[in-house]
Amino acid sequence: MSDQKLLQATLNEINELKAEVFSVDTKVDINCAYRRSLLNLKHYLILRSKDRTKLQEKLFSLSLSSLGRSYAHVAWSINTLHKRINTNLSSQTSHDFSSDFSIQSATKLSSSNAAQLFGTNANSKSLQQETAIMVTLPSYAAEYNGLLIHDLANVGVNAFRINTAHDDANIWKAMADIIVQINESRDANSKIKIFVDLAGPKIRTTKIRKINIPIEIGSNKIQKDILIFHAKSMATISESLNEITRQKKPARIVVNKKLFKKIENGSVLKIIDVNSKKALIAVTDINDVFATATIDKKAYLDDTAKIYKKRTQGKLLNIQKQPELIRLQKDDLLVIGPSDKEGSAALYDDAMNLIEPAYIGCSFSGIEKYVNIADKIFIDDGKIGLVVVKKEETHITCKVILAKENGILVKEGKGINFPDSHIMTAAFTQNDRENIIPILDFADHISLSFCQSAQDIRDLKVLLRKQGREDIGIVAKIETKQAVSNMPEILEELLEWEKRAIMIARGDLAIEVGFEKLAYIQESLLDICDAAHIPVIWATQVLENQMKNNLPSRAEITDAAMSGRAECVMLNKGPFAIDTISVLKSILDDMHSISKKNRQLLSKETLW
């Protein structure tokens, strides 16, 4: 095809596209950002309603923009192409569309919206960084005079996330007070923002019954420290990890007071554990409250274990009960039902015939009404896969279809996902309504977990208006299939609020839509938010291995690079947060220097 014919064919297609886009009311006050964004969102949906890839190829072959990055300024881009092709054909432009909403205007509006949410980072040494960094604060963040928060602020964090699914109002306020103190020395643009997550209707496993399972102390490889107490108010527990220092906290045993009085510096105690194995405890120091010691071997303790000092037998007291081990393997059965019944392991007879399957409670009352036979269910971020095989009045029976080769434990408080079931629950729960009041004193923005519809946004707006807090931003967390399908209405509702954003919460979202579809879904979410000029927060498992072990996987690096498409990247809590932020900033700086090379095909969008 000659250049002239190709130009004419391309112009014909552009004319058709232009007619479709301009069929939407284009008479809009260009000074009203909300109306401009809403109009552009509608233009974007028209653009993506058909397969435009052939048109793109023609544009690309003519060295013209292929519309792959036109989402923030659809009408302007189409009109510019129309003019240029007409010019090349030496013909007059017909049906001209004048709009001041150019690439520059759209870019400026998107940047302004992001700045309202995240501000700018006064500590950033890079002029290229365009993506803000948010860090989730752990429960202990306010301890040690907020040392962790100060350290994170100093390395360039733009925002902190406080999660109301954990802790209480006193701890949330303690964290916020430290951030407010840090902000006192900063100008308005560089103040660190406080994002508060409402817990939402997260469906979780509930309590598992506690039983006497032997606890483990000591090691067969090295000597381990151990503490000895006599206070009846304390429990005998295994070694644990100090979340603040990342150091191991020694195991602790509690003995009767008579035995404790016989212990002195240099004493050696002997333990006979549940397996009749012997371990020796050497006391290195003692005071009226406790003794410090070392144990030479691993030992398993329950009520049958014995402890001696020479010929004096003492008693091990208050051995901590532990949740019963509910281990599931492929093809096992699991009953899911009301939370008032504690979880329990499967019961077998002597011949290993199943008497009663394992049971776990569900925090969502009446879940059996929303699921059907053959629906899939996932527990603990997809580690356990189930399929519903039976429905009864108060519970459902499921068969395990996904588990590790050697089985996997069901634990308390783990998320349950129902990707095949239509569970429409209000995102703004009664518990959230109670928690939101104390956080209004310090929250810059509030994140609505499991937002699924425009009504969820409206519910939160009503409360904020009633409290006179229309200055607080609203973040809709997208983590269900329904939310993805309802994105246009969610975005339209958000556009009527001054400060707004979308969080792509990829943990639950991956389970809901399927892991293999996550990459496509998150790309589509980025595109439609770009069209609405609404900032995006890229969340869940970003550089997770780096955060936990200070060594990222290769896949994590490329994922972090992709996160630069969003206006903000959220890191979860972890002991190596400082190092991780440095790595992330370096990746983002590099990617922002080459990010304009992207070119996308405009295939038909079927999500909306």
Q: Note the pLDDT tens digit of each residue in 29-66.
A: 656 778 888 888 888 888 888 888 888 878 877 878 88
**How many other β-carbons are positioned within 10 Å of the β-carbon of residue 97?**
15
Domain boundary among 110, 136, 170: 110
The residue among 131, 65, 51, 121 whose CA lies nearest residue 590 is 131
What pLDDT does 8 receive? 81
Statement: residue 486 has pLDDT above 90: yes
607 assigned to some structural domain: no
Cα 602 to Cα 18: distance, rounded to the nearest angstrom: 15
Same domain? For 103 and 171 the reply is no
Answer yes or no: do 308 and 344 share one domain: no
Give me the DSSP letters along 48-67: TTS--HHHHHHHHHTTS--S
Nearest residue to 361 via CA among 379, 342, 385: 342
Handedness of CA 262, 263, 264, 270 (dihedral sign): positive
Position 500 in a domain: yes
Same domain? 405 vs 315 = no
Instruction: Give the DSSP letter string of 376-415.
Output: EEEETTTTEEEEEEEE-SS-EEEEEEE--TT-EEE-TT-B
CATH number at residue 346: 2.40.33.10
In the block, which residue shows the tokens 């809901």? 512
pLDDT above 50 for 118: yes
Q: Count of H helices and E strands in the chain?
A: 17, 32
pLDDT band at 244; cut points 50, 70, 90: low
CA distances for 196 relative to 14, 107, 160, 352, 432, angstroms? 45, 28, 8, 50, 11
Mean pLDDT of all residues belonging to the chain: 88
How many Cβ atoms from other residues are within 10 Å of residue 470's Cβ? 12
Name the band, by pLDDT with cuts 50, 70 and 90, for residue 101: low
Residue 27's pLDDT is: 62
- Residues 52/81, Cβ–Cβ less than 8 Å: no
Cβ partners under 8 Å of residue 522, min gap 6: 504, 506, 509, 538
**93 pLDDT above the threshold of 80:** no
Amino acid at position 396, single letter: I
pLDDT at residue 447 above 70?
yes
Residues 495-534: tens digit of each pLDDT: 999 999 999 999 999 999 999 999 999 999 999 999 999 9
Local confidence band at 129 (pLDDT 50, 70, 90 cut-offs)? very low
Same domain, 184 and 222: no
User: What percent of the chain shows pLDDT beyond 70?
Assistant: 92
- Residue 182 pLDDT more than 90? yes
pLDDT confidence band for 87 (50 / 70 / 90): confident
pLDDT at 291 over 90: yes
pLDDT greater at residue 65 or residue 145? 145
Whole-number pLDDT of residue 480:
93
Distances (CA, A) of 249 to 213, 237, 238, 240, 301: 21, 10, 9, 5, 18
Contact 307, 255 (CB under 8 A): yes
Q: Does the pLDDT value for residue 92 go beyond 50?
A: no
- In whole angstroms, what is the distance from residue 510 CA to residue 497 CA? 28
Same domain, 543 and 461: yes
Query: Of the candidates 88, 110, 132, which is a domain's last residue?
Result: 110
- What pLDDT shows up at residue 126? 43
At residue 549, the 3 state secondary structure works out as helix
- d(CA 172, CA 182) in angstroms, rounded, equals 16
Shared domain check, 550 and 506: yes
More confident residue, 574 or 458: 458
The total domain count for the chain is 4
In a domain, 208, yes or no: no
Residue 295 lies in a domain: yes
- Residue pair 503/566 in contact by the 8 Å Cβ criterion: no
Helices (H), 505-593: 506-513, 518-531, 544-549, 554-562, 577-592
Residues 395 and 442 in one domain: no
CB contact at 8 A, 118 and 131 = no
Q: Which residues contact 488 (CB under 8 A, 6 or more apart)?
A: 41, 45, 528, 608
pLDDT, mean of residues 219-228: 94
CB 291 within 8 A of CB 310: no
pLDDT at 282 over 90: yes
Tell me the residue length of the chain: 608
490-502 burial by CB neighbour count: b if 16+ within 10 A, else e? bbbbbbebebbbb
In a domain, 608, yes or no: no
Cα–Cα dist 352/330, whole Å: 16
Write the CA distances from 25 to 46, 103, 137, integer angstroms: 13, 20, 46
| Domain harbouring 235, CATH code | 2.40.33
pLDDT attached to residue 596: 43
Alpha helices (H) in 224-269, listed in sequence order: 257-262
Q: What is the pLDDT of residues 149-164, one digit of tens each?
A: 999 999 999 999 999 9
Q: Tell whether the model's pLDDT for residue 369 goes beyond 50.
A: yes
3-class secondary structure, 573: coil
CA dihedral for 63, 67, 72, 77, sign (positive or negative): positive
Query: Residue 207 falls within a domain, yes or no?
Result: no
Residue span of the structural domain in which 484 resides: 124-201+424-597
Is residue 26 predicted with pLDDT exceeding 60? no
- Residue 29: what pLDDT? 64
313 plus 360 within the same structural domain: no
Q: Which two tokens stand for residue 214?
A: 């032997």
Q: How far apart are CA 302 and CA 273, in angstroms?
A: 8
pLDDT above 70 (res 91): no
422 or 93: which carries more pLDDT confidence?
422
pLDDT at 510: 94
* Among candidate residues 158, 180, 253, the one with its CA nearest the CA of residue 567: 158
Residue 526 lies in a domain: yes
Q: So what's the pLDDT on residue 71?
A: 86
Selection from 416, 432, 429 nearest residue 367 by Cα: 416
Q: How many Cβ atoms from other residues are within 10 Å of residue 562's Cβ?
A: 17
443 and 544 share a domain? yes
Same domain, 429 and 550: yes
* pLDDT at position 570 over 90: yes
pLDDT for position 97: 44
**Residue 570: inside a domain:** yes
CA distance 276 to 173: 50
Q: Which of 92, 81, 74 is nearest to 55 (CA)?
A: 81
As a whole number of angstroms, the distance between CA 51 and CA 587 comes to 34
Alpha-carbon span 406 to 64, nearest angstrom: 57
479 and 589 share a domain?
yes
Q: pLDDT > 90: what percent of the chain?
A: 65
What lies within 8 Å, CB to CB, of 159 at 6+ separation is 117, 118, 132, 133, 134, 135, 192, 193, 194, 195, 444, 568
Question: Which of 382, 397, 417 corresponds to the end of one domain?
Answer: 417
CATH number at residue 565: 3.20.20.60
Strands laid side by side in the 384-391 sheet: 358-361, 333-337, 396-402, 384-391, 376-379, 416-417
pLDDT at residue 1, as a whole number: 54
In this structure, are 507 and 578 located in the same domain? yes
Identify the CA nearest to 593 among candidates 561, 559, 570, 568: 561
Instruction: State the Cα angle at 31 between 42 and 46, rounded to 5°.
Output: 10
Q: Averaged over 3-28, what is the pLDDT?
A: 76
Q: The tokens 């049906």 sit on which residue? A: 95
